Amino acid sequence: METPITFLGCEAGNRIYVKHEEFFPFSLGGSKARIAAPYFEEIEAGGYDCAVTYGGVRSNLCRVVAAMAAVRGLKCVAVMHGEDDPGSLNLRMVRSSGASVVFCPAQRAAATISDTLAALREKDCRPFFIPGGGQGVTGTHAYVGCFEEIEAYMRRTGVPFRFIFLPSGTGTAQSGLVCGKLLSGASCEIVGISIAREAERGRDAVLRSVGGYFAAKGAVPAEGAAERAVIFEDAYNGGGYGRGDYTETVARVYRRYAVPLDNTYTGKAFYGMLEYLKQRRIAGESVLFVNTGGVPLFFEDLPLDRRKEGSAPCEAL
């Protein structure tokens, strides 16, 4: 299912466009909806009856997996690191979908997942596990599809994207875009703005996913091509996952363009993109920002106190 690309406006001296993954038409969208969809094709083809997945208590992946299981009449268990949080809209949606939730400390994740799978098998279920972030060949493939949509847009409109920016966490989405670029020979630069990891670890993860995808296809990229194509920028990660305050960027982008971003992923990456362009004196280019957001985190991060967020024009009346 294709998501639209629209022209946003001029920012940091460049023409910025947005690939609206937040409109991916399932459960308020986001990159995780695109990534989870092909896993459910495997679940159906393999006759599994329960989807198990893993994420934080605010996980977009858990939300969409729970919803995809529910609409198919499958059971779902979401293993989440952290503690129950009634403020998490994604978690509330997981529960609305009827999924079971198992909480564990992050260090106990692997053990909790394998215990959960074992307990389900004991009850004669056939569980299918979707890894955190949707990482794997299937997840990467979903974003090869996203790259193909971007390429088709460039062909159709003649807009040449010199840069494609996106928030990068596990690197699943980025690896798919990079594979798409390598397979098509496109010349745009794909820049993953780290939302958590430091450069070396983040880049290695993207490269591993790229390698895994090519291996699964029985293909090899040209010598050094994958290494050259993976740009993983950690200068704007705010000191780690969930750290840093991007509410100003989120509020400004919403007020100016009515595009919803969040504080954890897309707001951080949008801010990082503008800094990256400014610091490298990149100007006059057409630049695509992939809004990986699911909409719930936008609402969750929306300030409750209206005085905090630029209500000055009305107060002046």
Ligand X SMILES: *Cc1c(COP(=O)(O)O)cnc(C)c1O
Q: Are 26 and 67 in contact (CB under 8 A)?
A: yes
Q: Does 286 bind ligand X (CB under 6 A)?
A: no
Spatial distance between the Cα atoms of 201 and 75, rounded to a whole number of angstroms: 34
Spatial distance between the Cα atoms of 253 and 247, rounded to a whole number of angstroms: 10
Q: Does 31 bind ligand X (CB under 6 A)?
A: yes
| Greatest Cα pair distance in the chain | 67
Nearer to ligand X, 49 or 300 (CB): 300
Q: Does 174 bind ligand X (CB under 6 A)?
A: yes
Q: Shortest gap between Cβ of 314 and ligand X (angstroms)?
A: 31
Neighbour-count burial of 176, counting CB atoms closer than 10 A to its CB (0-12 exposed, 13-18 middle, 19+ buried): buried
Spatial distance between the Cα atoms of 298 and 262, rounded to a whole number of angstroms: 5
The residue from 128, 161, 265, 276 that contacts ligand X (CB under 6 A) is 265
Q: Does 191 bind ligand X (CB under 6 A)?
A: no
Q: Does 170 bind ligand X (CB under 6 A)?
A: yes
Exposure on the CB side of residue 148, measured as CA atoms within 13 A: 9
Taking CB under 6 A as the binding criterion, the range among 44-52, 83-91, 98-106, 166-174 that sits at the site for ligand X is 166-174
Q: Shortest gap between Cβ of 59 and ligand X (angstroms)?
A: 8
Spatial distance between the Cα atoms of 94 and 176, rounded to a whole number of angstroms: 26
Which of the residues 102 through 161 are near ligand X (CB under 6 A)? 133
Q: Does 293 bind ligand X (CB under 6 A)?
A: yes
Q: What angle do CA 103, 106, 111 make, to 5 degrees?
A: 75
Q: Shortest gap between Cβ of 307 and ligand X (angstroms)?
A: 28
- Nearest Cα neighbor of 167 from 3, 21, 4 is 21
Task: Please name the amino acid found at residue 304.
Answer: L
Taking CB under 6 A as the binding criterion, the range among 29-37, 40-48, 88-96, 214-222 that sits at the site for ligand X is 29-37
Exposure on the CB side of residue 150, measured as CA atoms within 13 A: 33
Neighbour-count burial of 232, counting CB atoms closer than 10 A to its CB (0-12 exposed, 13-18 middle, 19+ buried): buried
Binding-site string for ligand X from residue 54 to residue 93, where x marks contact by CB under 6 A and - marks none: ------x---------------------------------
Nearer to ligand X, 136 or 221 (CB): 136
Q: Does 267 bind ligand X (CB under 6 A)?
A: no
Q: Shortest gap between Cβ of 58 and ligand X (angstroms)?
A: 9
Phi, psi of 236 (to 5 degrees): -120, 25
Nearer to ligand X, 120 or 246 (CB): 246
Taking CB under 6 A as the binding criterion, the range among 63-71, 212-220, 244-252, 288-296 that sits at the site for ligand X is 288-296
Q: Are 33 and 294 in contact (CB under 8 A)?
A: yes
Q: Shortest gap between Cβ of 159 and ligand X (angstroms)?
A: 23
Taking CB under 6 A as the binding criterion, the range among 28-36, 78-86, 105-113, 299-307 that sits at the site for ligand X is 28-36
Q: CA torsion angle for 54, 55, 61, 65 (degrees, to 10)? A: 30
Q: Does 3 bind ligand X (CB under 6 A)?
A: no
Nearer to ligand X, 169 or 272 (CB): 169
Interface residues with ligand X (CB under 6 A) are 30-32, 60, 133, 167-174, 265-266, 292-294
